[in-house]
Each structure stands twice: as structure tokens, then as C-alpha cells.
Amino acid sequence: MGELVFTAKVTHVPSIWMSEMYEQHKGIRDNAINGLVELGKRAKAAGVETFAVIDTHWIVNQGFHLNAAGHHAATFTSHELPHFLEDMEYAYDGDPELGNLMADTVRDSGFRAMAHDTPNLKVEYGTLIPMRHMNQGLYASVLPIAANQFASIDEGRRMGEAMREAIEKSDRKVGLLASGSLSHQFFPNDQSEAGAFETNTEFNRQVDIRVLELWQTGQIKEFIKMLPDYAARCAGECQMIDTAMLLGALGWNDYSGKAELLGEYFGSSGTGQANLEFAL
């Protein structure tokens, strides 16, 4: 019987790549990298065999989609920020079995769901950045999961519940990651360079800080009540559907655990970012 053994909310900002690769930016995102590395160590210790990554940069408009290819390999350059992230080579084993089982289970719960196996469907950096640091040594397979930008929070909850059901019907130990930001309001173009290390508006920063407090003190029911407003007013990345799916898999209002913040909250080009493990 399969088991969800690790869950986390993770950052994927492309300036992490700059921090590694560009001499003039060395170390600027050590805080984020260190958090991802530590999360990876904990996931490995928990026995994770497959990372299922809800990727808010693989944005879809209809239905529920998974990349169920048996292998993921290419060289990635961001079309969004090509001067931040270029020529990242990657190669990971996929998990077609779990991908197809998850699609079947989500479909049985009433959603349109598809598991894809095509060499032309590449992996986005919402998966690649966390995996680069969490999956060192390639100890786990990778199952990218799309984020539907038009799905409701309640649909996200139900999708997460179905994903948990599929995991438990499988024979896998799974780490489920919500890869996305907290607030996600970018600066206007003419302010973007100056705001590279800031959160856009004090309001967004303060709400992010309060959300982290709620998660760390186990006030999940209170957060769930505010989630639709939070996503709308603080420009949540892909409507924060990744967070809704993660909490759905954790049990939604029945989840009694807490989150642990690894490293510090930080601003990035206007967005609010953090790495957290949600206790199981």
C-alpha cells in the first residue's frame, strides 16, 4: 500500500539559478537553496520514492494534467526570464504508473484528467528548481502535475483528496510538493530591477507573514477560511491552487499538523517566498 510520507510548500524563483551560476550574483539565494537542500534530506530520510510536484509554472486552462513520461530530459531556458535562467540541463526518471493511477482516480472523482507521455511535453522550472536541490543523487522519480489557473479553491481541495487516494492505492512512498509563491504581485517593469529582493507592497508582506504564523502554529482552519481572499487580494500564483491541492491531500479542515519554516521568508521581484515542511 502506498503512502504520502512527505509534504512541503517550496519556492522556485529563477534567481536561485543565478545565485549558483552567475559570478556577479553568487550567493544571493543561499537562503532558498539551503532550505531546499534540507527539505531534500528530510524527504530522502522519509523514504520518498517519487516526488509529485504541483507546478504553478505548468499552467493549464482546462482539466487536470500530469506528465507521466518514463523519463524527463532536456535543456531548459525560461521563456519568461531568459536572462535569469538559461541552459539548465536536467534528467530525471518519471513515474508513469503513479501518473496514470492518479489521473484515473481524479477522473473517477468527477474531473477531466489526463496523464501524458509525449517527448514534446517538457518540464517547467517550478519542478526543475526544487528538484535540482531536493533530489540530489536522483534518489526519487519525478511526476510533474499541472496547475489549473481557472480551478476553484474547492476544486483544488477535491483534486488533492483524489491525489491522496491514488497515492494510497499505489505501492509508492510519495513526497507531495506545492511549488509556488505566497503573494505573487510583481513590480511594474520600470521598478523590477530595484525590487529584486523586495515584496511588492507592505500589505502583501504583512499578510504573508501572518499566513506563515498561521501555518507554523497549526491554525490551518483559519487559513483555509481566508485562502480565497488571500489568493485574490495578494495575487496568489495561479490562484494558489497548488496550496489548495496540498491541503486537500493533507485532509483540509481535518489536518491537525503544523508547518516548519526552513530558512527565512524573502521577497523576490515583488513576490513573497518561503520553504516549509508540513508535518504528517
* Secondary structure element (H or E) that encloses residue 174, with its range: strand 173-179
pLDDT of residue 216: 98
Which region, left, alpha or beta, applies to residue 200 given φ > 0 means left and ψ of -120 to 50 means alpha? beta
Torsion of CA 84, 88, 94, 99, to 10 degrees: 20
- Domain locations in the chain as residue ranges: 3-278
pLDDT of residue 45: 98
pTM of the model: 0.98
For residues 251 and 151, give the distance between their C-alpha atoms in angstroms, rounded to a whole number.
Answer: 19
pLDDT of residue 193: 87
- pLDDT tens digit sequence for 207-254: 999 999 999 999 999 999 999 999 999 999 999 999 999 999 999 999
Which residues does the chain have with pLDDT short of 70? none
Report the sign of the C-alpha dihedral through residues 107, 109, 160, 99, in that order.
negative
Class of domain 3-278: alpha beta
b (16+ CB within 10 A) / e for 59-87: beeeebbbbbbeebeeebebeebeebbee
Residues near 168 by beta carbon (within 8 Å), at least 6 away in sequence: 1, 2, 3, 4
